[in-house]
Structure 1
Amino acid sequence: MTASAHRQQTADRIAAALGHSFEGEIRVGGHYASAVRDGQTVYISGQVPRVGTTVMVTGRAGDTVSLEQAREGAQICALRALAILRRELGSLDAVRQVLRVGVFVQCSADFTQHSEVADAASDLLHEVFGDAGVHVRTAVGVYALPKNATVEVEMTVAVD
């Protein structure tokens, strides 16, 4: 099996385990792009845990949303980003390195497990890309996110 096939099968398997598919359904809701390529770098806009038209995880982590629910939301966000990347590049085999991941968590004032939420996205990327999925990361707590999403993930990727 090629690295590309392995990457795509891994991403598809994780999505299926979560009960989701992202085939051809990622759209933006405004005057911005879901991804922009500049040379060998692709910037992916922030993704909320939306499947189709439904945001799957909403509310505040540490209040109405458990750590595990927030982590699942981060995985959905990362899978959406990979679907956008695959659409942009044709496949995941052109990915040389995931460079940076930003994770925003809508949370209560006393919530301190931002890194644990972000780990779910980071672990998924490592599972799909191996060492090429290891990246720098920022994980922050915020008061609100679009559509009341619990988590939003943005990504920067180096490609061939």
Structure 2
Amino acid sequence: MRIEERLAELGLTLPAAPAPPATGSLPPDWVRVVGRRVLVSGHGPLLPDGRPAGPFGRVPDEVPLESAQQSARLAALGVIGTVQRAVGDLDRIAAWVTVSGFVFAEPGYRHTTAVLNAFSALVHDVFGREVGAHARTAIGAATLPLGVPVVVAAELELRS
């Protein structure tokens, strides 16, 4: 099944391009394709129009686990949408190689992997286990841009 058909079957909509960073900063390339490597800059949760999605704040004292997991799912959709704009056809993806996730976490919070599991689950649901399987890091952070609870970067590989 084609990836776009799978997204539709799951009732998922990819958001518009992420909003540009704050004024005065150098805008990043959201995706850089080098040979077969697809390097994706950190994405937070996005609304359908590409603006950052709430809730905002630290997990779990300001944002409960379930809300942080929803933020991780929205970040996954943002990453997938940005990759689609960069490479055209999502069926060109041969593998999700690695995912690096950061959780705006209360000091001592030990469940960052539980937050990022939602990102990984969505990738597996959309791309299947063979293509969607990836190595992953889930780190707690003292703060994240705009106060989003989750930021995720990734590396993917294109089919030859």
Q: Give the structure-1-normalised TM-score.
A: 0.88
- Identity over the aligned pairs, expressed in percent? 26
Paired residue total: 152
1:127-146 matches, within 5 Å, as 127-130=125-128, 131-146=130-145
**Secondary structure class of the residue paired with 2:91:** coil
**Is residue 28 of structure 1 aligned with residue 20 of structure 2?**
yes
Equivalent residue in structure 1 for 2:6, among 3, 6, 10: 10
**Secondary structure class of the residue paired with 2:90:** coil
Map of 1:108 onto structure 2: 106
Map of 1:149 onto structure 2: 148
Distance in 2, matches of 1:62 and 1:134, equals 27
Determine if contact 1:71/1:118 at 8 Å carries over to the other structure.
yes
Amino acid at match of 1:37: V
Cα drift, residue 137 of structure 1: 0.4
| Stretches (4+) displaced over 6 A | none
**Secondary structure class of the residue paired with 2:154:** strand
Amino acid at match of 1:76: L
**Secondary structure class of the residue paired with 1:93:** helix
Once the two structures are overlaid, the 10-residue window that deviates more, 35-44 or 103-112, is 103-112
1:16-95 matches, within 5 Å, as 16=12, 21-22=14-15, 24-29=16-21, 30-51=26-47, 52=49, 53-95=51-93
Distance in 1, matches of 2:125 and 2:139, equals 23
Determine if contact 1:57/1:149 at 8 Å carries over to the other structure.
yes
Q: Give the structure-2-normalised TM-score.
A: 0.88
Determine if contact 1:96/1:132 at 8 Å carries over to the other structure.
yes
Determine if contact 2:112/2:140 at 8 Å carries over to the other structure.
yes
CA deviations over 1:85-124 (Å, ceiling 9, x no partner): 1111112100000000011000111311111111000011
Determine if contact 2:104/2:141 at 8 Å carries over to the other structure.
yes
Determine if contact 1:71/1:117 at 8 Å carries over to the other structure.
yes
Amino acid at match of 1:101: V
Distance in 2, matches of 1:12 and 1:136, equals 26
CA RMSD of aligned residues (A): 1.7
Cα drift, residue 28 of structure 1: 3.4
